[in-house]
Each structure stands twice: as C-alpha cells, then as structure tokens.
Amino acid sequence: MVSFDLLKKVEKGEYSAEQAWKLLEEGQDGFDEMGYAKLDTARKARTGFAEVVYCSNKADDHLLGIYQRIYQEEGEVLGTRATPGQYEYLKGYFEDLTYDRLSRILKIDKKGKEYLGLVAVCTAGTADIAVAEEAALTAEFFGTKVERVYDVGVSGIHRLMSRLDRIREANCVVAVAGMEGALPSVLGGMVSRPVIAVPTSVGYGANLGGIAALLTMINSCANGIAVVNIDNGYGAGYLAAQMNRLALGI
C-alpha cells in the first residue's frame, strides 16, 4: 500500500511516477499467481506466519508446486489433512519431509528449531488424540514448546487433577473434547490463562457430528474459553502459537 515515504521519494525524484506505480502494483498484489492458486506471499509480513497448505483434495502436481514454492521462500513447509498417498508422492522431492498418520500433518521442518514458552494440549479421551496432535504439531512447527496431557476427561476428573500443576505453567491451554465436551469448562475454572476449546466429532447418537460439543463449549459458564471449529486442531495450534508469542514478546 502507498506510504508517505514513497510519495516523498517521488517528490524528491528518487523514483519516477512509473517506478512507484510498479512497486505499488507488485506490493499491492503480494501474491504469487500459480495458475491453480494464488500463493499469499505477503501473509508472513501481515500476520507473522507463512501460508500453511491445506492438502485435502489437492492434485499431486499442484501440491508439489506449492511445497516447492513455499520451501524455497521459507525453508520449511507445514501441510494439514494430508493423505499417505500425498506423502508417498512428495517424499522423493524433499529430504526432510515427515508425515504423521494420526494428525495427517505433512511437514518439512527447519533443523535445530527452538521450542520456546509453553502450551498445554489436553484431551478428554483417547479418541480425541488425533485432533490434539494436529494442534500440538502445528504449535510446535511455529516454535512452541508443547506439553501433552491426554485422556483426562471429566468422568474421571482425578486424572486431570494430578496434572494440574504442569498445566498451570502453560501460557495457554488447548482443550480437545468430543461427546459432551465438558473439559474446557472444568479447565477454565482452574487456570489463569486462556483455554482454547476444540470440539471433536467423536461420539455417537445425538452428538450431531460435534455440534453438541461445540454448543457446550460456546455456552461454557467458565471464563476465558475461546472456541474453534469442530476437529480444527490446526486452528487451535495456530491460536496457541499466537498466544505463546504474546507471552514471549515476539
């Protein structure tokens, strides 16, 4: 976007009107036209995080092109909802590509990445772990230290109590739960930091594909509960990384 500095430079003759206009057009765009997609190359400048690849349903060659372009720009790539087949296709092209079958994260990490601060990722049951891992790996990709606290749901709340001290040290807590989704409410009453609530589609009967848990969390009587979409571990991990950065002053 145009700045006073740029106008000043035109006034002083450092740039011609044509040169300034070209800069503006390029800057105004801030994306890479790839034919099958417009890569948002200005995103890191705007939001502090490079574009993340949503792999689901992408053609293999498109996915490869996008990974190559981001890798070249950033030296690392984070992809979500990837299939084993996509991993098979891409792994010949990138030495450090790793794939986690549970969370479906397909990523290339920078070597020697440091993990700072602390985020706790909790689940109510074992079936919620896939979503929790998507959150945890996302937060880690963005340089966050993560503590996993799994299977501590409210029907046996003593399991949660025994881990509470560690949870309280975190800059924020990700609480992943399906079925009735009560875990974030209990956590919200026990910690001083924000709780990011992730409803999952785990359950049966009247769980409405996770809507029941979503409603529980949105209506929580506890304070400091921030809700994301059903099964959206990625979104929770991203938010957690943002909050962790706040605490780190990054």
| Of residues 116 and 222, the one with the C-beta less far from its own copies | 222
Residues 6+ apart with CB under 8 A from 44: 50, 51, 74
**C-beta of 93: minimal distance to its own copies in Å?**
21
Could you say whether residue 193 binds its own copies (CB under 8 A)?
Answer: yes
Please tell me whether residue 102 binds its own copies under the rule CB under 8 A: no
Give me the least distance between CB of 103 and its own copies, in Å please.
15
Q: Which amino acid is at 51?
A: E
93 binds its own copies (CB under 8 A): no
Q: What number of CA atoms fall less than 13 Å from residue 176's CA on the CB side? A: 32
Told to check if 114 binds its own copies by CB under 8 A, we report no
> How long a stretch of residues is the chain?
250
Q: Is 116 in the site for its own copies (CB under 8 A)?
A: no
Q: Residue 19 or residue 98: which is nearer to its own copies going by CB?
A: 19
Is the Cβ of residue 17 or residue 111 nearer to its own copies in the bound state? 17
Instruction: Tell me if 8 contacts its own copies by CB under 8 A.
Output: yes
Strand, helix or coil at 143?
coil
Q: Contact between 185 and its own copies (CB under 8 A)?
A: yes
223 scored as a contact of its own copies (CB under 8 A)? yes
| 155 lies in the binding site for its own copies (CB under 8 A) | yes
Calpha distance 62→107 (Å, rounded):
16
Neighbours of 14 (CB within 10 A): 11
Q: Residue 153's CB: how many other CB atoms inside 10 A?
A: 23
- Selection from 186, 242, 184 nearest residue 218 by Cα: 184
**Which one of 68-76, 87-95, 107-115, 152-160 is the stretch in contact with its own copies (CB under 8 A)?**
152-160
Helix, strand, coil percent values for the chain (each to nearest 5): 45, 20, 40
Rule CB under 8 A: choose which of 28, 88, 93, 96 binds its own copies. 28
Total of chain residues touching its own copies, rule CB under 8 A? 101
